[in-house]
Amino acid sequence: MHNIYTLIFSLFFLANVSAQICVPDTQYTSTGNWPDTIPLAYVDLVYNTVITNVVPLDTVIDVAGIPTDVTVNYVEITDFTGLPAGFTYQCNPSDCIFIGGSIGCILVEGPAPAISDIGIYPVEIYTNTEGVAIVLGFPITQNQLDTVKTYYIEIADTSGSQATSVKTKQLNPSTELELLNVYPSPSFDNATVSFYSNNNESIELSIMDITGKIIYSKSVNAGIGIHQEYVNVSDFDTGIYFVSATKGAKQQTTKFTVIH
CB 118 within 8 A of CB 155: yes
Looking at residue 2, its pLDDT comes to 47
Residue 115 DSSP SS3: helix
Q: If we measure between CA atoms, which residue out of 54, 9, 184 comes closest to residue 194?
A: 184
Percent of all residues in the chain with a pLDDT value above 90, rounded to a whole number: 32
How does pLDDT run across 14-62, given as a tens digit for each residue?
Answer: 444 445 789 998 888 999 888 766 555 567 777 878 889 999 999 988 7
pTM to 2 decimal places = 0.59
Average the pLDDT over 67-84 and give the result: 92
Q: Is 120 exposed, middle or buried (0-12, 13-18, 19+ CB in 10 A)?
A: buried
Distance of CA 255 to the CA centre of its chain: 23
Q: Which CATH class is domain 172-258?
A: mainly beta
Distance of alpha carbon 81 from alpha carbon 155, whole angstroms: 16
Distance of alpha carbon 254 from alpha carbon 100, whole angstroms: 42
Confidence of residue 128 (pLDDT cuts 50, 70, 90): very high
Ranked by mean pLDDT, the top range of 14-18, 137-141, 146-150 is 137-141
Average the pLDDT over 147-165 and give the result: 62
Distance of alpha carbon 155 from alpha carbon 163, whole angstroms: 9
Q: What is the average pLDDT score of the chain?
A: 81
